[in-house]
Each structure stands twice: as C-alpha cells, then as structure tokens.
Chain A
C-alpha cells in the first residue's frame, strides 16, 4: 500500500519535533453490500474506503490526523498536523528502520468474495426472502442484507514495527415481521465470519430465514414480560453480551486507569462465581472479532481475564501498557483509519461449566428463559448494565412455558458475576456483534454455555 522507505521517512519526520512515538495506520477497504426489502432487491452498493491515520505521542499527549491521500506528500501533511499537537519543542534527527513482522493469519479464506458474481450474492437474499415468507402466512414483511468486505491494513511505528494484515468479512442478516390480533412482532437472525464466501457451503441461509420468521410468529402469542427480580436462564450462544457488558468493558485498561471501572484494583480477587472462566481471544479462526494483528500492529492472542472466578488481568493497548511498563495484549483497536485506537474486546467468551442445560431449567422452579438476546450497554463506573431479550419464555415449575414480549433486563455487573450459580457444558459462539465505545464501532464476537443467574431484574410490565 505504501513503500517502506516512504513510511520510514514519514515516521522520522513525525518525531523530529521531539515526540517520542509515531505510527502510521493505513487501510484500503473494498466492500459490497446488497439490501432486500419488501420483496425487492433495493440496491447493490459498492464502496471504497482508503486512507491513513497518523498518531504522534509526546508524553501523555497524543496528536492524530488522517488523510485519504496516501502519497508521501499527503502522509507528510497529516504527520505534521498530528505532530503539531504533540510537539515537545525539542528536536533532532531520528532514523526509523522498519522490520516487517511475519504474517499472522488465524483465518483461512478459500473463496475471496471479490471473485464471486454479484448475482450470486443477491440470490442469497431472494432465497432467504422466499424461505421467511413461506414459513407462515403471518409473515407480512421481510428485509434482508448481505455484506462483504476486504480490508488491507498496514501498521508501522517508530519502534520499528511493521505489520500487514488482510481481513475478509462476510455477513448476512434477516428480519421478519409477523402480524396478528395482538399487533406486529419481529424476529431477527444474522451470521458473520472473518472468512470468505465458502461460508455458504456450510451455512443454511433458508434455515436462518425460517428462524427469524419462527421468532416473530412465536411472539404473536407472547404475554407481557414480568416486572421485578427473578432467576434468569440464558441459552448457550446467545448470552455472551451479558459478559461483554457485565464485566468486559470494565476490564479495559483505559477505563481502569481513569478509575472509571468497578473492577479497578481487583486483580487477584474473586470477582465472579468460581464457575466462571472468561477469555478474550482474537485468534479464533473465522470468528467476527478475529484479527491477525490488532490495529496497533500487535499480534493477537488469547487472554484469560477471569479464571475460576478470580480476576487475572485487564485488556491492554499500546499507550496503557507503555505507561504501566508491561506487555500489550493485542486489544488496541479502531473503527477505521479515521479513528484513534483504544482498548477493545475481540471475541469474549465464558468456558464450559459442569452442568447439563436441561438440568438447569428443570431445577429452576420459576423464572425466565432467554433464548435470544438483543444488544446491551453498561455504565462501567457503576457496573449497572442492561441487555435486551428478543426471544424469551416463562419458566414455571422447571419447564419452559409461555413466550414473553420484548424487554430489557438490568443488573449490576459485580453482583451478577457472583450470582451465576449454574453453568452448562454446551458452549457455543453467538451472532456477530458491533461494539460501540466512545463513538467507534468495531466487530466483536461472544459466546457462552447455557447458564443461570440467581437474580436479575426483568423490565416488563406484568406484576
């Protein structure tokens, strides 16, 4: 994307006014998307995003500028804008010698989406539309989307690091609306992987569509969700967002450093039920949060955050690790070349426990069974977090009974982690997610076995 000698000159120039670190992050992304709604393929979109972000650090101050001009002149202009903000008034000539890192490719892409005809991609949407509509006469509307992208990323910095990565993404989503005497209800399914079009050799797209329709139709007979605290069982592969919000964000070192997390100062302490081992792993092949290198050029790795309930470590980016004099953990990420990196999760999941999923339900006299979760959010300073349930049922006398209408659940992270009293042995990864923090969205994965929380507050209306 950019010649090595140009990078070396730009980086050396960026620190010539006394800064102690400079970095170039360049990307070249091509994407194709297609949307179907109301029975029509509304539009196929082709996109091209290309540019570089230059970061210059002096002490605790970071200057950042970006440009879509990848010529040496364009990069130099951005570098001087970034350096102006982080100038120490010093100076001197520094040379930068880059050494290319060996490739790290956790994902194996067999069929680059660029080589697949657009008509073949559009055909997936028509197949899903047909399958969703023929599932039941209650289905009155369907929208579906396909998206793929190939992003080449180059990171180089004054520490001599130079990495090249290429990330391919393939995504499919569908939402169905069912109409009945009780009004309209919705169902939603999605799948996304960091591999190519070969994913459709194994994914049954019609089944994905039927599942969205089934959810919507099921909820036509749903009753209002209960109001108040009760036991909640969360189906495997749907509830990773619980951990993402209940503790994931609170373990990000930038929030720890500012004392804006309830988990600050808790390393080595029991923060969760002994059943819980929580891992963040950017190397899981094909998963939505997987990368070869993070967006600061650090190789991704598997990080155990909580082991048997004990907090073992936080997640780290370059700046926070440098300040603490410790290694990075491969969690420095950014939305695009137009954004500063910060500490982010990759694929965050809880490992299997000892219980059988059926036993968990059978041993719950009364409660709620959540089989599909929506998004969530957390206030890391208080630990209070919410997440939406988009398919849920009452548990009565140890059995799953009536479906419930949508609602939010609210809990407090540190308390909920301690309240996990049963954990099954049926681990699976969940749907692709986009995690938002400080205005930036990045792709993340999550996963967990079926589990029970002793008490969570259900935000329904029924007493």
Chain B
C-alpha cells in the first residue's frame, strides 16, 4: 500500500501529532465501498451499494495498552476515540513487551493492488455478469438449478501512522463472481437434492472465467447425486484443492507465533523437529502476486515477506508480528494481520502454500487402492481443535477403488490428528490454485485417515 498517498494519511498523521511525550500512539484509518449483485431466475434479487469509513486508535503508556474505534471520520468522533483510547490505558496490565512496531528496514516488494478497469466498470455490466453466470450454470446440466448467482466487488484505502515512525498508506480493489447450485434427481420419497458452488476471482472482471465457475458449480452438485452413507473404515484421502486450502488454514494457526509464546501451539517447542513428511514444505508468501491475499505491507505497516515455515518436513520458523516477536526474542516476520479499523493487529499467515509437487489429481488418484476423494468439508470450526490437534470434520466426496473414482458418499466424517496428518502426507499435487482465501489449494494425499459412516 506504499505508493498511494491518500487523504487518510493526513487524518492518521493528525492523530499521532497529538501524542504526549510518554505516549506511543498508532492511528489506523480506512475507507471503502462495495457493490454486491444477486440474481435469481434472470432478475436482480438485490443490489447493494455502500460506503463505510472509520478509525481505530491504539495508545500505549508505560506498558499499558488502550484502544478505541468509531465507524465514522467526523472530527468530533475522532477526538472522542482518542480520548476513549487514552482512558482505556489505565485498565490494561503492565506488559514489558507492549510497544508499537518500528520500521525494520525490510524492503517492500511493490504489488499492483489497484485496478483502474475495475474502478470504472459500469453497474449494468456487473448485473450482466451475474445473469450470464446464472444462465451458464443452469444450462450446464438438465438436473441443475441455481440458488443464487452473484457479482461482488470491493475497494478500500487505508493509512496507518505511529509515533514509532510507521507511516504507510495505500489502496486496493478486487472482485469476484460466485454461483450456488442445486441438483435434483428422483421424485416423491426418492427425491434427492445436492448442492454445489463455483466462483471466479480477479483484480478486474476481465480475469473472470465464467465457464469454469459454472462447470465446477454444476459438477460439484451432480457428482454427489445418489450419494449414500458408507461403513466406517480407515483409508487414504485425496483432498480436492479447495478442501486442501481449508486444511492449510487450520495448519496455519499452529504456526502462529502468538499461539507459540502463549503456550497454545502444539508445535511450541518443536523448532528444528521433523513435524511433517519429508516432501512437505510450507511457505507463507504474500509477495507472490498470484496470491489472492498478496500485499506489500502487513497490518502494522512493515514490509510483507516470504517466510519458509516448514522445509522438507522440518519446522523452521513461526510467523510473528512485532509484539509476539519481541516476546519470543526474535524479529517480526511481517505477519501482523488487521481485520479493519475496529481491531488491533493480530498474527497470522498471510498467503500460505505448500510447495507443489509434479503430478495431476488424476495421477495421484491412480496410485490409491482404497480411498476417498474429499470434495467438501463441513464443520471445520466445530470439530477441529488446533490446540489439542484433534481433527474431525463432516465430509462428502467420491470413493476411490483401485485407482479409479467411484461411488459418491455423504453423511460421513473424516478424522485424525493434525500432528499425524502432516506426517501422513503421501504426496502434494502439482495443481496449485490460488483461491479466495489466505491459503493456496492443491490436491493433497494423506494416508490413514478414519472415515466414519454407518
């Protein structure tokens, strides 16, 4: 976000200029807008167009932190936010590590995060895209109908300034289309419905692949028609790229430096140990322009950077922001996260990926004698405990027998532990796909997972 000098920077600067000698102050100011179109049966169901803005101010005095925010940039509101943040300082416990980030000299890898074509894209064409996608998806298969078809875009600018010398502003925009499908088969008591989804993301609408989104949405729904509940057994799973990306999202919380310094990561004392199979290398690299969450700076305004976290199965590094790094006796890895003006920076992977292998999903499946191609996971938030490592999630997919994909199955769970799953990775696919989340997807083969069914 460095290249774009915004009016918001002036607002942020004016707040930190009011700092008293004993105060560290950080101001984060953001403004943004969004458009969302939903189409149903050829008509616009809803059209949302909106703007929002706000400010968050953090004050640290003698190791105590206070914070306040407001969803407005009115002058009087900003004064109130600063006063509230200052008032809140007295209630924090003294923390010797509490401090704002300081410039660390790391070089910023410039990213192109703003697209003029999207900024000028006319409203009627946004609606047309959602209508077109609906038409393509419902035409992809006679059994498919569309639940909703959507176009959405968002743009935002932000600025951060701190008394410790951070000063950074920028803007970014992006867009996506998505479609939810229903596939029906049978009648009366035998009537059955399955669901699917497809999407395409881009910096501008010209990057969309509507045909692929429609085809995937239709395939996902129709492939599961006729699914039954199988018996329980242990088998090898092949995670579809979308599912693997969700799995990476879970793994990322065990590599979080804040969880480590607070004793909540199951890898907290495992640096240098072999924690994954030898072909497994995890890299967090938000400077990769292909990543959906690519960025040039992190949530504290430090340069985003490439970090190798697990290399050839060996745990090398955790991700840190300036606070967790200070506590761990190391330096920030540029992994401060910030959800918006209403919160203070956390720690997290920004764009996590496995270094891809060579082979296609089809080739991976050909080597599996008894397995399950996992197409959907359900309940990651309720059945996965990243502190104990217990992993159990609802699933649906296709059985694999002697290297061939066969019958669809549903109402099953797959379970293991995160510790075992990393060691049980058999192969990483070459089909890397950057999905609209902070992790990449690729087919992933994991052995010895329990499938629970009837």
Residue of A46, A62, A376 near B379 (CB, 8 A) is A376
Contacts of B50 in A (CB 8 A): 64-67, 78, 81, 338
Determine whether B144 belongs to the interface, using a CB cutoff of 8 Å to chain A: no
- Give the number of residues in A that approach B within 8 Å (Cβ atoms): 80
Among residues of B, the one whose C-beta sits closest to the C-beta of A68 is: B72
Judged by DSSP, the binding face of B is: strand
Among residues of A, the one whose C-beta sits closest to the C-beta of B394 is: A386
| Interface contact A40-B93, CB-CB below 8 Å | yes
Determine whether B304 belongs to the interface, using a CB cutoff of 8 Å to chain A: no
Determine whether B232 belongs to the interface, using a CB cutoff of 8 Å to chain A: yes
Residue of A64, A81, A183, A338 near B389 (CB, 8 A) is A183
Among residues of B, the one whose C-beta sits closest to the C-beta of A78 is: B50
**A170, chain B: closest CB distance, angstroms:** 17
Q: In chain A, residues 171-213, which have Cβ atoms closer than 8 Å to a Cβ of chain B?
A: 177, 179, 183-186
Bound CA span A67–B182, Å: 35
| Interface contact B45-A379, CB-CB below 8 Å | no
Determine whether A313 belongs to the interface, using a CB cutoff of 8 Å to chain B: no
| Interface contact A260-B182, CB-CB below 8 Å | yes
Bound CA span A158–B385, Å: 49
Q: In chain B, residues 48-87, which have Cβ atoms closer than 8 Å to a Cβ of chain A?
A: 48-54, 65-72, 77, 80-81, 84-85, 87
| Interface contact B452-A382, CB-CB below 8 Å | no
Contacts of A66 in B (CB 8 A): 50-52
CB within 8 Å for A340 and B92 given contacts A228-B454, A408-B393: no
Residue of B44, B53, B342 near A85 (CB, 8 A) is B44
Determine whether A397 belongs to the interface, using a CB cutoff of 8 Å to chain B: no
Contacts of A95 in B (CB 8 A): none
CB within 8 Å for A388 and B46 given contacts A43-B66, A185-B388: no
A364-387: CB near B (< 8 Å → 1, else 0) gives: 000000000011110101101111
Q: Which of A40, A86, A118, A185 has the most CB of B within 10 A?
A: A40
| Interface contact B92-A461, CB-CB below 8 Å | no
Residue of B45, B47, B262 near A141 (CB, 8 A) is B262
Determine whether B411 belongs to the interface, using a CB cutoff of 8 Å to chain A: yes
Residue of B69, B193, B383, B385 near A45 (CB, 8 A) is B69
**B150, chain A: closest CB distance, angstroms:** 10
Give the contact stretch, choosing among B14-22, B132-140, B399-407, B412-420. Answer: B412-420
Bound CA span A406–B413, Å: 13
Q: In chain B, residues 405-454, which have Cβ atoms closer than 8 Å to a Cβ of chain A?
A: 410-417, 450-454
Determine whether A140 belongs to the interface, using a CB cutoff of 8 Å to chain B: yes
Determine whether B247 belongs to the interface, using a CB cutoff of 8 Å to chain A: no
Give the contact stretch, choosing among A18-26, A419-427, A452-460. Answer: A452-460
Among residues of B, the one whose C-beta sits closest to the C-beta of A388 is: B382
Determine whether B95 belongs to the interface, using a CB cutoff of 8 Å to chain A: yes
| Interface contact A47-B91, CB-CB below 8 Å | no
Give the contact stretch, choosing among A4-12, A48-56, A304-312. Answer: A48-56
Q: In chain B, residues 121-161, which have Cβ atoms closer than 8 Å to a Cβ of chain A?
A: 145, 147-148
Bound CA span A177–B135, Å: 51
Determine whether B354 belongs to the interface, using a CB cutoff of 8 Å to chain A: no
Q: Which of A41, A60, A118, A388 has the most CB of B within 10 A?
A: A388
Q: In chain A, residues 51-84, which have Cβ atoms closer than 8 Å to a Cβ of chain B?
A: 51, 60-68, 78, 81-82, 84
| Interface contact A382-B193, CB-CB below 8 Å | yes
| Interface contact B382-A186, CB-CB below 8 Å | no
Determine whether B175 belongs to the interface, using a CB cutoff of 8 Å to chain A: no
Contacts of A39 in B (CB 8 A): 93
| Interface contact B71-A374, CB-CB below 8 Å | no
| Interface contact A85-B49, CB-CB below 8 Å | yes
Bound CA span A36–B264, Å: 15
| Interface contact A61-B93, CB-CB below 8 Å | no
Determine whether B392 belongs to the interface, using a CB cutoff of 8 Å to chain A: yes
Bound CA span A407–B388, Å: 11
| Interface contact B413-A48, CB-CB below 8 Å | no
CB within 8 Å for A407 and B93 given contacts A61-B47, A63-B47, A338-B52: no
Residue of B48, B93, B231, B389 near A42 (CB, 8 A) is B93
**B250, chain A: closest CB distance, angstroms:** 13
Bound CA span A36–B195, Å: 42
CB within 8 Å for A227 and B415 given contacts A63-B46, A183-B388: yes
Determine whether A161 belongs to the interface, using a CB cutoff of 8 Å to chain B: no
**A347, chain B: closest CB distance, angstroms:** 20
**B47, chain A: closest CB distance, angstroms:** 3
B210-233: CB near A (< 8 Å → 1, else 0) gives: 000000000000000000010110
Determine whether A412 belongs to the interface, using a CB cutoff of 8 Å to chain B: yes
| Interface contact A229-B454, CB-CB below 8 Å | yes
Contacts of B385 in A (CB 8 A): 186, 406
CB within 8 Å for A48 and B389 given contacts A43-B88, A382-B193: no
Residue of A50, A184, A227, A379 near B452 (CB, 8 A) is A227
| Interface contact A461-B378, CB-CB below 8 Å | no
Contacts of A408 in B (CB 8 A): 379, 382-383, 392-394, 413, 415
| Interface contact A119-B454, CB-CB below 8 Å | no
Determine whether A410 belongs to the interface, using a CB cutoff of 8 Å to chain B: yes
Contacts of B232 in A (CB 8 A): 227-228, 463
Among residues of B, the one whose C-beta sits closest to the C-beta of A461 is: B450
Determine whether B263 belongs to the interface, using a CB cutoff of 8 Å to chain A: yes
Contacts of A36 in B (CB 8 A): 93
Bound CA span A270–B93, Å: 57
Bound CA span A4–B382, Å: 45
CB within 8 Å for A65 and B452 given contacts A41-B91, A388-B383, A457-B411: no
Contacts of A179 in B (CB 8 A): 263
Q: In chain A, residues 398-432, which have Cβ atoms closer than 8 Å to a Cβ of chain B?
A: 405-412
Among residues of A, the one whose C-beta sits closest to the C-beta of B265 is: A184
Bound CA span A375–B384, Å: 11
Determine whether A34 belongs to the interface, using a CB cutoff of 8 Å to chain B: yes
| Interface contact B71-A50, CB-CB below 8 Å | yes
Determine whether A258 belongs to the interface, using a CB cutoff of 8 Å to chain B: yes
Bound CA span A41–B54, Å: 25
Among residues of A, the one whose C-beta sits closest to the C-beta of B385 is: A406
| Interface contact A407-B40, CB-CB below 8 Å | no
Determine whether B236 belongs to the interface, using a CB cutoff of 8 Å to chain A: no
Bound CA span A236–B344, Å: 38
**B153, chain A: closest CB distance, angstroms:** 15
Contacts of A259 in B (CB 8 A): 145, 182, 193
Bound CA span A332–B48, Å: 18
| Besides A36-B93, A407-B415, 9 new A-B residue pairs in contact (Cβ under 8 A), listed by A number | A46-B88, A48-B72, A184-B266, A184-B387, A228-B232, A384-B378, A386-B382, A406-B383, A458-B413
Which residues of chain A have a CB within 8 Å of any CB of chain B? 34, 36-51, 60-68, 78, 81-82, 84-86, 118-119, 122, 140-141, 177, 179, 183-186, 219, 225, 227-229, 258-260, 262, 338, 340, 374-377, 379, 381-382, 384-388, 405-412, 457-461, 463
Could you jot down 11 A-B contacts, CB within 8 Å?
Answer: A42-B92, A184-B266, A259-B182, A374-B382, A375-B381, A386-B413, A388-B383, A408-B379, A459-B414, A460-B450, A460-B452
